[in-house]
Amino acid sequence: MYIKIYETEVSVLVAVCDRDLIGKTYRDSGLKLEVTEEFYKGEPVDADRVQTALLEATTANIVGEQSIAAAISCGAIVPESVIVISGVPHAQMFCV
C-alpha cells in the first residue's frame, strides 16, 4: 500500500491506496475515481502503518481491497461506508 499524509494546523488528511491502483481511473454509474500519483503515492507501507495513521487522521481517502481491509480492521471505517466503483472499493473517513 501507499500512504501520503497531508498536515495542517487543524487537520490531518491521510490518503491510502493499494499499490497496483496508482495512476488508474475507474468509472461506474456516473461516479469517477482517479487514483493519481500526485495525491496517493507517498511511501510504501504495511497495514500496521496504515492503521496507525488512520487512527490519528481527521480525514482520509482509502482505495483498494488491502487498504479498505486495514481501515476496517482498526475501526477507522465500517464496512457499510465502503462504495465500489468499477470493482474497486473506496471509502472516505471524517472525524468531527
pLDDT per position as a tens digit, 34-77 = 999 999 999 999 999 999 999 999 999 999 999 999 999 999 99
Q: Which domain holds residue 49?
A: 2-94
Answer whether 0.85 is exceeded by the pTM: yes
Element housing 34 (H / E): strand 31-35
Q: How many domains does the chain have?
A: 1
Cell numbers describing residue 65: 481491497
Average pLDDT, the chain: 97
> Quick one: pLDDT band at residue 96, thresholds 50, 70, 90?
confident
Nearest to 29 by CA among 85, 91, 90: 85
* CATH code: domain of residue 62: 3.30.1860.10
